[in-house]
Structure 1
Amino acid sequence: MKYAVGVDIGGTNSRVALIDEEMNIIDRVQFPTNVEDPDETLKQLAAVVKGFEASDNRELVGIGVSCPGPLDLINGIVMETPNLKGNWHHYPVAKKIEEYTGIPSYLENDANLAALAEAVVGEGKDYRFVQFLTISTGLGSGQVIDGEIYIGAHGFGHEVANVCMWQDGPQHGSLYPGGIEAISSGTAITTRALNKGLNVKHAGEVNDLAAAGNEIAKEIMDDAKKYLASFISALIAITDPEIVILGGSVALKIDGFVDEVEDLVKEQVFDVVKPYVNVRKSTLNEDSGLLGAGCLAFSKAS
C-alpha cells in the first residue's frame, strides 16, 4: 500500500500524519511550531517523516502541507501570514520540505484543504460543489468543484478574512474594520466581549452569557451569526454551492450555532433558492486539514 503525509502547520502547533490510500490516519505526531524560525520547525517535520518512511519501508508518494494564508499557491510560498512571523514570511515552504525530505511536497491554504477533505470523505462527499468555512481563531474559506480546489487566477481565491461586511465595523488586529473575520471569528467574538467589560476566555463563554440573558453578549453573538449568514448568502448568490459546511471551534462547540446560521441564510436569499440552502456542521473535526493535505498529495502523485 502507498502512503501520503499530511502536515498542518499552525500558529501554536504543527501536526504530521501518515495517511493510507483509504484516507485513514495511521500515525500522527504533534510538536510546537517555532513561529519565528521555519527551518527549526521543518527539520522536526522532516525527522517525523523519516520515521514514517523507515517503519516497514513504507512508500511515501508525497507530502501535502496545510498552512494559514495568505499564500502564494502558485510557487508554494508563505506570504505575510498573521499566525507565523519572522522568517516565515515569503518563505518557500514546499521547496524547503522537499529539500529536507526528498519527497515531493505541495503547499495549500488550510481552509482549502479542509474543504477538500470534506468533499472527499466528509459531509460533502456526495456533492460536486462544496463550500467550506472554518470559524475558529480566524475565519477561513475554501471551495471544491468536482474534486478540485478553486484557487483563482493568482492563488488568492477565498482569502476572505478582510471582506467588509459592516462599514466602520469592529477592528481586530491588522484586519480591515468590519471584515468578516473581525466580526464572526472566535477570537473576534472574545475580543469584542472583553472590550465591553465581559470576563470571558473564549467565544463559548460569550455564548453562555448570551444564553443566560446578558444583553451585551447576546448582541455580540447575534452580530457574529447575522453577518456570517450574510456572507454565506453572498457566497451562495455568487457560486451556488450544493452544501456549505461549517467547521472550527465556534461552529462545532457552540450548540445550535450552525442551525441558527442556516435559518438566517434562508431569510436572505430568493424564495426559489431557499430549498437549496444546505448548511451543515463538519464531522471531521480537527482532522480535516490533515486529511485534505493527504488527499492533495495522493492527487498530485496520480
Structure 2
Amino acid sequence: MKYAIGIDIGGTNTRVALINENYEIKERIQFSTDANDPDKTMDKIAETIQSFETDIVGVGMSCPGPLDLINGKNIQTPNLHGKWTGFSVSKELEKRVQIPVYLENDANLAALAESVIGEGKDYDYVQYLTVSTGLGAGLVMHKKIFTGAHGFANEVANSCMKHEGPSHGMIYPGGIEAISSGTAIVERAKKKGLNVAHAGEVNDLALNGNVDAKEIMQEAKIYLANFIANIQAYIDPEIFILGGSVALKIDGFVEEVEELVKMRVFDVVKPYVKVRKSTLNEDSGLLGAACLAFLTLS
C-alpha cells in the first residue's frame, strides 16, 4: 500500500494527514499556524510527517494565496505575514523531509479531489467553486488542474460582477467574493444593522421575512448564478461542484443557484447545466493534496 501526505496550511490552523492510495485518511494532526514565521510551521509539519511510521511517496500541500505555483512560493495573503511573503514553501519543506512536495491552492486541490473521487469522478471537465469565507475556484480537465500561463487560472475572487458594488478587504468593489461569499453576506447584513454571526443566520432571517436579509441572499445567489453562467459559456464544463460552508450548510442554496443558471444560458445548453453539492466536505483539500502527489508521481 502506498501513502502520501496531504497538508492544508490555513491562516489559523495547519492540518497534516496520512492518506493511502485508496484515498482513506489513516491519521490526521492539526496545530496552530505561526502567522509570522513560516520556518516554525515548516518544522512542525516535518516533525509530524516523520512521526508517521510508514513509507511516504510524496506530499501535496495547499497554502493561502495568491501563490506562485511555478516557483512554489507564497506571494501574499491577508492572514499570513512577515517572512511568509515570498517564502518558498514547497522547497523549504522538501529540504526538511527529503520527499517530493507539490504546492497548489486549496480550491484547485478540492477541484482535483472532486474530479478523482468525488461528484466529478465520471466527468472529464469539472469546475469547482468554494463558497465560504472567500470564494475560490478550480478547473480540472482529464484529471489535471488547469493553471493557465502564469499559475493564476481560476483566481476568481476579484471577478467584477457589479459596477460600484460592495467590497471587503482586498477584494475589488463588485467582485464576486464581495457579493456571494459567506464573509460578504455577513458584512452586508451587519451594515444593514442585522445582528448575525454567519451566513446561515442571514438566510434564516430571510426565510422569516426580513427584507434586507432577503435582498442580500437573493443577490448572493443571482450574481453567483451570473458568474457560473459566464463560466458555462466560456468553458462548457460537464459539471459544477459547489463546496464551502455557504453551499453545504444552507438548505436549497445549490439547487436554487442551478435553476438561476439555467435561466441565463441558451436553451440548447440548459440540459447540460449541472450544479451539484460537494460530498467530500471539509476533507476535499486534504484528499486533493494526496491526489496531486499520487497522480504527479504515477
Q: Give the aligned partner of residue 150 of structure 2.
A: 154
Q: Give the aligned partner of residue 164 of structure 1.
A: 160
- In 2, distance between residues paired with 1:15 and 1:125? 25
Identity within the alignment, % = 66
User: Where in structure 2 are the equivalents of 1:43-192 lying within 5 Å?
Assistant: 43-52=43-52, 55=53, 58-192=54-188
User: Where in structure 2 are the equivalents of 1:20-35 lying within 5 Å?
Assistant: 20-35=20-35
Q: 96-105 or 277-286, which moves further after superposition?
A: 96-105
Paired residue secondary structure (2:36): coil
Deviations 1:242-268 (A, max 9, x none): 000000000000000000100100010
Paired residue secondary structure (1:107): strand
Match of 2:226 among 224, 230, 233: 230
Q: Give the aligned partner of residue 209 of structure 1.
A: 205
| Aligned partners of 1:69 and 1:159 also within 8 Å | no
- Corresponding letter in the other structure for 1:160: V
> Does 2:190 correspond to 1:194?
yes
Deviations 1:103-139 (A, max 9, x none): 1101001100000000000000000000000000100
Deviations 1:30-81 (A, max 9, x none): 11111111111111111110001xx2xx210111001222111111111112
Gaps of 5+ in 1: none
- So what's the TM-score if we normalise by structure 1? 0.97
- In 1, distance between residues paired with 2:122 and 2:89? 33
Q: Give the aligned partner of residue 39 of structure 1.
A: 39
- In 2, distance between residues paired with 1:90 and 1:237? 36
- In 2, distance between residues paired with 1:270 and 1:69? 35
Q: Give the aligned partner of residue 260 of structure 1.
A: 256
User: Where in structure 2 are the equivalents of 1:239-258 lying within 5 Å?
Assistant: 239-258=235-254
- In 2, distance between residues paired with 1:152 and 1:85? 27
- Corresponding letter in the other structure for 1:141: A
- So what's the TM-score if we normalise by structure 2? 0.99
RMSD: 0.8
Q: 76-85 or 269-278, which moves further after superposition?
A: 76-85
- In 1, distance between residues paired with 2:265 and 2:235? 13
Paired residue secondary structure (1:59): coil
Gaps of 5+ in 2: none
Q: Give the aligned partner of residue 9 of structure 1.
A: 9
Paired residue secondary structure (1:241): coil
